[in-house]
Structure 1
Amino acid sequence: MNKEIYVQQIFSSIAKRYDFLNSLLSLNLDRSWREFAVQLSGASTDSSVLDVCAGTGELAAAYAEAIGQHASVLSTDFCFSMLAVGQEKFKNRNTSFFIPIEADTLSLPFQDDTFEIVSVGFGIRNVSHLQKGISEMIRVTIPGGRVVVLEFTQPAVPVIKHAYYLYFKKVLPLIGNLISKNRHDAYGYLPSSVMEFPDCYQLKMIMEECGLVNVSYYLRTFGIVAVHVGSKR
């Protein structure tokens, strides 16, 4: 089974409990991480925003809170079940910010140079080809626009790193799979996907190799999460 199909099956199976589990397993810090990413994006009231690997729309909601509840943020994901949960969750809000589009980040259905900000939160490590995914994000960004990547990373401080590995490899899969009763071992996949993902500096280099300039990254919560921001020429 290829990675794309496997990831789709995983997220389809946990879609209805995804938000609850994320908040629980991140000790409710995931919201502050998204808010920080939006802040670094420089989004303003007239910004055009695309959120890829959008899942249930929590990052789109963070953009809406920052730039106004009448903001329109396009949200793409290749897992329809995740988008459906987001659509149900936001349907009673007096806003149009969550506009879900089922689409693969490796082949986005938009013209070149369309959005001022293209972002991804905790999703880029799930694409089957990292460089191609980032290149697609860049393609649909306008010249001078920004690409923002919020993702888990591996802390550098040995004590923190040891505790982090213990939590991710032992505690998180146990709690996650117990609560979600997931047959695809989604919370066993999460630690392995993080451990196999490039570190902060490597991701910075990849983003630059894909064509972004002025790439910087910012660490949060003892270095377990990083926000990378780069500009399109």
Structure 2
Amino acid sequence: VNDGEVTIWNQVDSMVNPDIIQRIGELYGQIDFFHSRFVPLLEGNLSYNKPLTLPVDEYCTFLNVVKALGPKMVVPGSAAFKYRDELAFMNQVSFPITQDQFLRDLALFCPEVPCAPFFSGDVAHISKEEIHIDKQASDFVRVKEDDSHQITFKPHAYVPVIKTQTTDQAQYKREMEVVENFLENCLLERILNSELLGGWQHWQIVYQLEVFGQEGPQAWTVDFGRPGKPQLHKGEIGKINLYEGISSS
């Protein structure tokens, strides 16, 4: 954003390379206020059995962008959310870097660039002469409580078992009827029409879907290694290559 006097850039989740930085410089000169990416998000890593560690190479690109861009001021500007309710455990495996850590690393890596924390409700006053931030000065939004400790990165923390959130018995019965009807009458047809079917059969994949209800889990399995048309089997067969677990609700 450029108003003719100052330029603000909110990187969001854009991947920035030297060509982009050069082009920005040609168009606007020195950036006055830069919202930088600061945390690589790992929200899908647990579900797909990927590493729960800081991707150092990706993180270093964030620092390098700030150094190459050389703005008048930089603030952390991404990943302002957290999980809640039954997904709260994801907070320990999704955010490997905090604002404070990013700012400490920036101060060591490129001390010539001023940096500061920036939260919802803070107001930045930006002019050609100076930049200063008033904490919680917004007249329409505030941080009600600093609960940042709830997203502290703890990749070996306890992961709870999947369970249904439905407590009403009548509602639970209706949900299970819908689940069982879909699995036993629709799932196999969709699998047979999938463009991935040939690959599953070639590699003789055994797929298991486990549904967690009030009485515990129930499993449905498809063995793509068996000759003939794949069949849906209720229960386990002693082997799993591809697994998914869901709640009945």
TM over 0.5: no
Give the TM-score normalised by structure 1. 0.29
Give the TM-score normalised by structure 2. 0.27
Larger Rg: 2
Question: More relative contact order in 1 or in 2 (CA 8 Å, sep 6+)?
Answer: 1
